[in-house]
Amino acid sequence: MTIAPQTDSVEAPGEVETYRKPIPVPDEATRPFFEGAKRHELMLQRCTVCGMTMWPVKPRCIDCFSAELEWARASGRGTLYTFTLMHQLYDPGFADEIPYNVSVVELEEGVRFTTNVVDCPNAELRIGMPLEVTFEDITDEISLPKFKPAG
């Protein structure tokens, strides 16, 4: 996965807002993940030999080293493993959101997923809080998994 340089070409005619943060560019390895996100399904790799679920994308199972991997829809449920609040501006696209959280969600499938928790004030973030996936449609092609308080 690479990150596209920010351009103004994201804005469609008539669109009110322009997405100003970096936009991921799927590659061959990550395309199933992004295709799933577009459908609002959180897709993870799973080993067909031992059942290990993996994230981020790997060429082989990290447990049994098999190359027999498949993509499976994750439950979308997890808990907040850890988070930090970003006060430094590293990309001008984030200027309106400082301080924003960068959170690690431990998914039911056992992997940890770096994301943002949305629909929750930063002051209410708590380690272990139950979360569920939600999707932010940032362009016609790209949707990003975020997490929100469950229920």
Binding site for Zn ion (CB under 5 A): 47, 49-50, 52, 61, 63-64, 66
Contacts of residue 27, defined as CB under 8 A and 6 or more positions apart, other chains included, come to 1, 2
Beta carbon nearer to Zn ion, 44 or 80: 44
- Which structure tokens are listed for 124? 């209410």
Side-chain-side CA neighbours of residue 14 (13 Å): 0
- Least distance (Å) from Zn ion to the CB of residue 110? 13
- Least distance (Å) from Zn ion to the CB of residue 36? 21
| Radius of gyration in angstroms for the set of CA atoms belonging to the chain, rounded to a whole number | 16
Beta carbon nearer to Zn ion, 53 or 103: 53
- Least distance (Å) from Zn ion to the CB of residue 111? 13
Contacts of residue 51, defined as CB under 8 A and 6 or more positions apart, other chains included, come to none
- Least distance (Å) from Zn ion to the CB of residue 55? 14
Beta carbon nearer to Zn ion, 64 or 95: 64
Q: What is the 3-state secondary structure (H, E, C) of 43-86?
A: EEEEECCCCCEECCCCCCCCCCCCCCEEEEECCCEEEEEEEEEE
Beta carbon nearer to Zn ion, 51 or 92: 51
